[in-house]
Amino acid sequence: MTEPELEPVYLDYAASTPVDPAVAEAMIECLRAQGGWGNPSSTHVFGRRAAERIEAARRQVAALIGACPEEIVFTSGATESDNMALLGIARANAHRGRHVVSSRIEHKAVLDPCKHLQREGFAVTLLTPGRSGTIDPRAVTAALRPDTVLVSLMLVNNETGVIQDIEAISALCRDRGIPFHTDAAQAVGRIPIDVHSLAIDFMSFTAHKLYGPKGIGALYVRAGAKPHLQPLTFGGGQEKGLRPGTLPTHQIVGFGVACERAGALLGQESERLMLLREALWSRLASLGGTHLNGEGEPRVPGILNVSFEGVEGESLVKGLGELAVSTGSACNSASAEPSYVLRALGRDTELAQSSLRFSFGRFTTAAELERAANAVRRELERLRALSPASEGPEDVRAAWPTRTGGAGIMGEAGGPGQEVWVRFRLQVRHGSVCSASFKAYGCPHTLAVAAWLAARLEGRSRAELIPGRPEDWARELAVPVEKLGRLLRIEDALHECLRHWPAEV
């Protein structure tokens, strides 16, 4: 009888958290016959029952961030809240000015609305963080202009976990009468927040980052700041006319319970996660060639972002099949492009692309992080050993004698710092290849094609050394068309072998 396959270790809490059982139970109860399934806008008993549940949840959500219940506007999530804030504030204040300040390390839910505002004629200043990932309040002051109508800077970065000095930044905006918004999706439920003591005017957050359901979030709108915001959608007038539409009672109820649970567990969870994070970093740091992104700055306990030298990021992640881990924010993790956040912090393309974000939370155990550290060690050792960089200068020779009386040939293409680096070594005797090996750095498709070719070179003569064309290899191994250019470098390495092929062997 075979052993059941272990479930991957979930280390992507920054992308989405598991739903807390207490939250799920509250939502299910809400959907039952005597629950709050009525339309909360209706005046009959079923509608009133739903409305009462919503207002109870609104109080729970507000309590977690130190707000008044009437300052909470329910939305579909942090992305909608960010769009409502950026577009709604800028448009409502366009008569006063058309300048917005944000940063290069914001979530796409802020950066994309900024781009949209630029198309509407607004000027947008994107601040560059320091190498540790913080925005200097003095840089914000320097960026402000007489026509600035909005400053939007995130409270906690979604990739590095770095906590910004929002208190100082919001205070200088308040002194100048400039509305201040913060994306706090990664902060709410993970660090203590009091929106009034922080002088925040608008704040976006969402339920699925704090063990609640997807599809429900909120925008905090400070009492008195509502005139600075105009709605983006129109309809039934719900949520004080700022966000119309029938409210999803069961999701809001789940959001409320999630916030209440997060507040109750905040202290003990912060301490536990801090210990887990430091233990994991200690294990990873011992592997050498590791860089902690956000080092030296306050960070939320449950996020650890590390860049690894000498490995290609996509190949690293593919080898970690037993881990559910991210290479950046969830909105970009399907792409092999390097993190724009880490590039903004000054990491080169190679290090930015080889970063992993480990994020953990309420259900993470020390044993799971031990398993993760062991998996990363295994893959780092494998990929580093496979890389041409693992060979010293004395190993890199174009040709050398062999014990069998033949000759050794080396062909190479690419190099350090490039997205592809391939080296083939061939033993040639009696006019044909008697053995072949390779070293390669690159994406999983690059490694797979190089290995596949090396296994097919034995017995081939000089005239037939290269088996087909890159497009043939791509078809055989199902390589995506966008990776075809990388296979050309493999072909270049084989052509180098031909160039060094001795006249008589």
406 three-state secondary structure: coil
Name residue 359's beta-bridge partners: 12, 303
Q: At how many degrees (to 10) do helices 108-119 and 78-92 cross?
A: 30
Confirm if 69 and 58 have CB atoms less than 8 A apart.
yes
Token pair for 499:
């160039």
285 three-state secondary structure: helix
Burial class (CB in 10 A: 0-12, 13-18, 19+), 492: middle
**Alpha carbons 372 and 280: distance in angstroms, whole number:** 9
Q: How many helices (H) and strands (E) does the chain have?
A: 14, 16
Confirm if 113 and 86 have CB atoms less than 8 A apart.
yes
For tokens 């199902």, the residue is 478
CA dihedral 136, 139, 144, 148 (to 10 degrees): -60
* Cα-based distances in Å from 252 to 73, 203, 263, 306: 11, 17, 17, 35
Q: Which residue among 30, 114, 259, 331 is the active-site one?
A: 331
Name residue 151's beta-bridge partners: 101, 180
Burial class (CB in 10 A: 0-12, 13-18, 19+), 301: buried
For tokens 């009525």, the residue is 38
- Alpha carbons within 13 angstroms on the beta-carbon side of residue 358 total 27
Cβ-based neighbours of 366, under 8 Å, separated by 6 or more: 276, 279
> Which has the closest alpha carbon to 302: 15, 98, 60, 52?
15
DSSP string, 456-496: T-TT-BSTT-S-S-HHHHHHHTT--GGGHHHHHHHHHHHHH
Active site residue 434: no
Token pair for 31:
């959907």
Catalytic residues: 331
